[in-house]
Chains A and B, each alone.
Chain A
Amino acid sequence: MAMKENGHKNGYRVIGTRPIRPDGVDKVTGRAVFGADLHLPGLLYGKVLRSPHAHARILSIDTSAAEALPGVKAVITAADLPQVADKVKSLGESVGNLRYMSENTLAREKALYHGHPIAAVAAENIHVAEEAVNLIEVEYEPLPVVLDGREAMQPGAPILIQGLRTDELGKLGSEPTNVAAHIQHKRGDVEAGFAEADVIIEREFRTETVHQGYIEPQNGVALWNDDGHIHIWCSTQGAFAVRSQISDLLRAPISQVTVTPLEIGGAFGGKINVYLEPLAALLSRKAGHRPVKMTMTRAEVLKASGPTSGSWIRVRMGAKKDGRITAAQAELVYEAGGFPGSPVGAGAGVILAPYRLDNLQIDGYDVLVNRPKASAYRAPGGTNAAYAAEAVADELAEALGMDPIDFRLINAVKEGDRRADGPMLPRIGYIETLQAIKNHPHYRQPLEGPHRGRGVAVGFWFNWGGKSSVSASVNEDGTVNLVEGSTDIGGSRASIAMQLAETLGIAAEDVHPQVVGTDLVGYNDVTGGSRTTYGTGYAVHALGVKLNEIMRELAADLWDVDVEEVRVEGGVFSAGDRSITFKELVAQGSDTPITASAATHPKDAGPAFAVHCVDVEVDPETGKVTILRYTAAQDVGTAIHPSYVEGQIQGAVAQGVGWGLNEEYIYDEEGHLLNASLLDYRMPTAPDLPMIDAVLVEEAPTPGHPFGVRGVGEVSIIPPPAALANAIHRATGVRMTALPMSPSRVMKAMIEH
């Protein structure tokens, strides 16, 4: 496409600009309706009773005293939840067995983690509900607890689920176990590769359970109507994913379930699985079909919504003197929590992905422990994996006396290479992203001063396309109402509207996007996997093309020419020497209303790469790490709304820094979570972070996408802990092989060094 005068890069008019987000005013004025803001006539309030034990058999539950409390309208236990059979269910970013999902919703025979729901109450107000919950008497038989993945793999470890058998590379084992699955990727001859190496580095790493830390706790309102129809209002990444879970868990036909997504205050993967919604629905039915609202407290969010896995990882890499990696091997043990389903599969795919390898072996284990069931967290499984691999790569580069970026350039994957986990890579911008850091003023300026160090690390993430449905109607004034089903978590209403505006050649402000519920739009996959701007953008492009076709016909009618003669470019319709803009053409009037819809499922979303560089200073007396400067370069394809792309990168870095430096679930020996508050679960605050410089690398538009969009939401959470560990090493001489690298741990390591 030719550059237009005053046009943006690639000739775009809307893409690459920074319009104000359509949801902005309502959010800054407090008018936006989030899940907990919804109020319906006759609303009841629900509360969950949670297990005080990390592992216990439930011997009996007596709800009579709670039921007798004035103001209590319903009490439910697992007995009220339909029994569901084993069935594997995919929710986009996570896959799970339906029976386990049901048991995670309400414990049946056993409580498997501290905070596991046991029963729930609906009452006239939340205070009565809280009091009623305390009146439920549960008799438990406490069982031995196992919290560490590798201990849970040992013979004799307490078994969480008696019927579980290991899926051993596709074959089912015969013994009771906590190992739900063993997966493997293998290529070439690893031992021969190591024999060729001049230097081999092998290290073991431990990372802790961490939480997404979204601001808005889980919530949901449910009305199970007298006619059998279930209506759910909630804050979710995917209304259709909630609908299918409700349908499966409550055994209600899909057509009897309506889900309306409300505004969402962050999710990062944590709001795909349902927790409260099925309970609220059951309570609603039992309470005489009154609507029931449930919200989690922060402590409940931390204890019982899905965090991401703690892990143990071993990485071994060997290289020749010239820097070429000859073999690499990784073993990953991911803690799934009380039920199978850690992101070890993704971790195994991420761990060696940036490296071109002829000889490799990756083994991953999905292991049950008495912690909350893990759910997706931004590039699920990727951050811990890269932390291990990137620290080893750094050490290898150092041993070879090579610049860490040059070492990665020598070994970088590019188009046509096979990823460690198999698939062939399409056009990617990894090498350009490495160059972006190598040539950045930050990297070129030497870091001076005592106790200071610079670290770099890279990250890979798969990205995803997914299914999207959209529809639009053109208003008489030439503006367009856009209806979509992708919940907007990070500014996607803006980025989707902009792609439709670009396709139609109208202003971004002339597209009015709206996210609607399951009855009002076709199926949409969840907002996750960095897919929405890519996949739903793909759909609105198709939609715009259809609208343009209708408009061409209108122009043809107007000018009384053949439709083939009408051309359209940049919102201007022309035939011969006549031309008319989109808006002018609409103003001419149309006999039939102008509407269209589109549904798409693009299959080859391009993967994303990030390269980060960080400078730190370590207090030699306290071990506290201060970040002096942070630069994050990312292969972004085409930045639709650059501010929101930068925002995604900065947010991902902030989370990665928290994961690297201070965040961790702290349990006592009996498996009680000790730090279930945001005071004690230490996410970074603004004073803990420097300005994060986001460098957008737009040199490799994704092939197959009309605007070259590449998912940008996740990959930048992957490098930060590794980059920090590498920087801390340069500053102190210490290699930190466990996260978080909190002051006490860094201090201890420095003293022992």
Chain B
Amino acid sequence: MQAFDYARVSTVDEAVRLLAARNGDARVLSGGTDLLVALREGRDSAGLVVDVKGVPELMEMFFDRGGGLMLGAAVPCQRMYSDEPIAQAFPGLMDAASLIGGVQVQGRASFGGNLCNASPAADSIPALIVHKATAVIAGPGGRREVPVEEVCVAPGRTQLQPGELLVQLRIPAPEPRFGAAYQRFTPRNEMDIAVVGVGAAVRLNADGDHFEWARIALGAVAPTPLLAAEAGDALAGKAVSEAAIEEAARMAQAAASPITDMSGTAEFRRRLVGVLTRRTLVAAIERARRAGTHWNADLR
């Protein structure tokens, strides 16, 4: 690892100023579980590392049933799933938060870092996408908000420009009878990279037997995590049935463009997209039906 300058900032403006001044050789440090490893192994280099863990906005979480969840970009996974109300409202996000690395890694790893690292196999991104999450990005020109599915543009690359940083993720409050799940396939049960990851979210009708809408997102089968929009949209209005789920799984498979690498062959990955789409849809439906009862109880 080569020497670099280090700055710990306490405001977003300060971070933007420092980043903008360095012409692309500055890196944002959140949990560091990607960045520090990459710097040590020489896969990335930095002239300046800007530690944002001192910026309150990036380290805070707010949740209310009206406005939804505002998740600071640097909040570690462990804080997310340790927060009862948040964990209960977003089991589909917690699926991802409790999968990343292991206990030690989760004490540092953030969803913001996971997104900005832009790995095609990142576990939080499909989960965020199906939750209709957006990313709040600050830069020299001010702030902008973009859907999470538009943030990654290539393996390891996001649409963030030099000088920009991710401030926050915004996740809409769960609608009534909403359920979501994320699952991945790995040869090992822990400490592994998704061969395929699939997130699914559904909103069911009042009787819980029809889809009002659905979203399906795929990881590790394209250069970036992918919203399989058609597969999800095809479910809207349909009765909840094995056939409908099977059809969605087939469409998700069609949306995937997997490659063969040391984690798995393209053929195996395509197969897993089908398997995991079915399994996550079933899990999401189950959660939606259970959430239905919670919400009814709550509204009384």
A residues contacting B by CB (< 8 A) are: 127, 130-131, 299, 621-622, 624, 661-662, 666, 674-675, 678-680, 682, 684-688, 742-744, 747-748
Contacts and interface: CB of A to CB of B under 8 A. Distances in A.
B154 interface: no
A679 B191 contact: yes
Nearest to A625: B187
B262 interface: yes
Chain A CB within 10 A, most for which of B190, B195, B262, B275? B262
B189 to A, nearest CB: 4
A621 B192 CA distance: 19
B65 interface: no
A31 to B, nearest CB: 22
B188 A688 contact: yes
Contacts of B262: 666, 674-675, 680
Interface of B: 1-3, 41, 102, 185, 187-193, 195, 262-265, 268, 271-272, 275
A624 B187 contact: yes
Contacts of A127: 1-3
A619 to B, nearest CB: 9
Nearest to B278: A621
Nearest to B274: A621
Contacts of A686: 190
Nearest to A686: B190
A675 B188 CA distance: 15
Contacts of B265: 744
14 contacts: A130-B1, A131-B2, A622-B271, A624-B187, A675-B262, A679-B192, A679-B193, A680-B263, A682-B187, A685-B190, A688-B188, A688-B190, A743-B185, A748-B268
A661 B188 CA distance: 10
Given A662-B187, A674-B262, A622 B275 contact: yes
Contacts of B191: 678-679, 685
Given A680-B262, A744-B268, A621 B275 contact: yes
Chain A CB within 10 A, most for which of B187, B189, B193, B275? B187
Nearest to B262: A666
A570 B75 CA distance: 63
B40 to A, nearest CB: 9
A742 B187 contact: yes
Nearest to B185: A622
Chain A CB within 10 A, most for which of B41, B102, B191, B272? B191
B231 to A, nearest CB: 18
Nearest to B271: A747
Contacts of B189: 685, 687-688
Contacts of A661: 187
B91 to A, nearest CB: 20
A621 B196 CA distance: 14
Nearest to A664: B262
Contacts of B2: 127, 130-131
Given A685-B188, A685-B190, A747 B3 contact: no
A680 B102 CA distance: 15
Nearest to A620: B275
Nearest to A126: B1
Contacts of A742: 187
A336 to B, nearest CB: 24
A686 B191 CA distance: 10
A682 B190 contact: no
B188 A684 contact: yes
Closest A-B pairs by Cβ, 7 of them: A687-B189, A744-B268, A621-B275, A666-B262, A685-B190, A687-B190, A662-B187
A702 to B, nearest CB: 38
